[in-house]
């Protein structure tokens, strides 16, 4: 590979961004377990602060798993989540720093966090959010569609899936092959001048 990376071609950019949409309706096509492993094999390379990698991903892909998830969902998210082949619980590990000797061995990074609950929480939530974003882009790159959601009872979900309290949910993302026949027109996006400054 050259020292200066080349741009992706327009078709690839369209798949990741321009033509990608948030889906609420799904085709009856399963997502292969091997594809979920391939998905994580890409996600894990996304950068996080001090390579802390606090994101944890529960792929809810069975009828029994979906029924465990159902009570925590906001009413408007039940039908689309039950229909999606996979729902990812994007969560974070509140003991992520225990693994820093492996993931960031250059210094004693674990000591930065031990006993500092506020720093642990803010670092874990921020970086697991990044990793959730990487997951959606990687899913699109592999031909999957996404439906991210924040409408759920986090306390109930965490008690159901993470009863020991170590992991905490951040957001949910449905995965599968979206049914484009149900899409509405794309909602407006902010222009550069509305959202950006060059300083």
Instruction: Reduce the DSSP state of residue 68 to 3 states and report it.
Output: helix
Instruction: State the pLDDT at residue 1.
Output: 59
The domain covering 21-174 belongs, at the CATH homologous superfamily level, to NADH Oxidase (3.40.109.10)
State which residues of the chain have pLDDT below 50: none
Instruction: State the pLDDT at residue 5.
Output: 87
Q: What separation in angstroms does the CA of 29 have from each of 18, 57, 67, 181?
A: 24, 21, 19, 15
Instruction: State the pLDDT at residue 3.
Output: 83
Instruction: State the pLDDT at residue 80.
Output: 98
Give tens-digit pLDDT for 33-50: 999 999 999 999 999 999
Instruction: State the pLDDT at residue 164.
Output: 98
**What's the predicted TM-score (pTM) here?**
0.95
Residue ranges of domains in the chain: 21-174
């Amino acid at each position: 590979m050259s020292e200066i990376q080349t741009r992706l071609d327009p078709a690839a950019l369209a798949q990741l961004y321009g033509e990608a949409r948030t889906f609420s309706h799904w085709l009856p096509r399963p997502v292969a377990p091997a594809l979920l492993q391939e998905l994580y094999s890409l996600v894990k390379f996304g950068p996080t602060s001090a390579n802390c990698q606090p994101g944890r991903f529960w792929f809810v892909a069975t009828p029994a798993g979906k029924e465990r998830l159902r009570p925590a969902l906001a009413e408007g998210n039940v039908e689309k989540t039950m229909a999606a082949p996979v729902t990812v619980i994007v969560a974070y590990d509140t003991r992520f720093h225990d693994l820093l000797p492996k993931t960031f061995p250059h210094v004693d990074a674990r000591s930065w966090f031990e006993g500092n609950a506020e720093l642990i929480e803010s670092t874990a939530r921020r970086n697991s959010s990044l990793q959730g974003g990487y997951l959606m882009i990687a899913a699109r790159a592999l031909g999957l569609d996404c439906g991210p959601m924040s409408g759920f009872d986090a306390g109930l979900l965490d008690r159901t899936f993470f009863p020991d309290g170590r992991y905490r949910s951040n957001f949910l993302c449905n995965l599968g092959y979206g049914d484009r026949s149900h899409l509405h027109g794309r909602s407006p996006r902010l222009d550069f001048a509305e959202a950006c400054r060059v300083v």
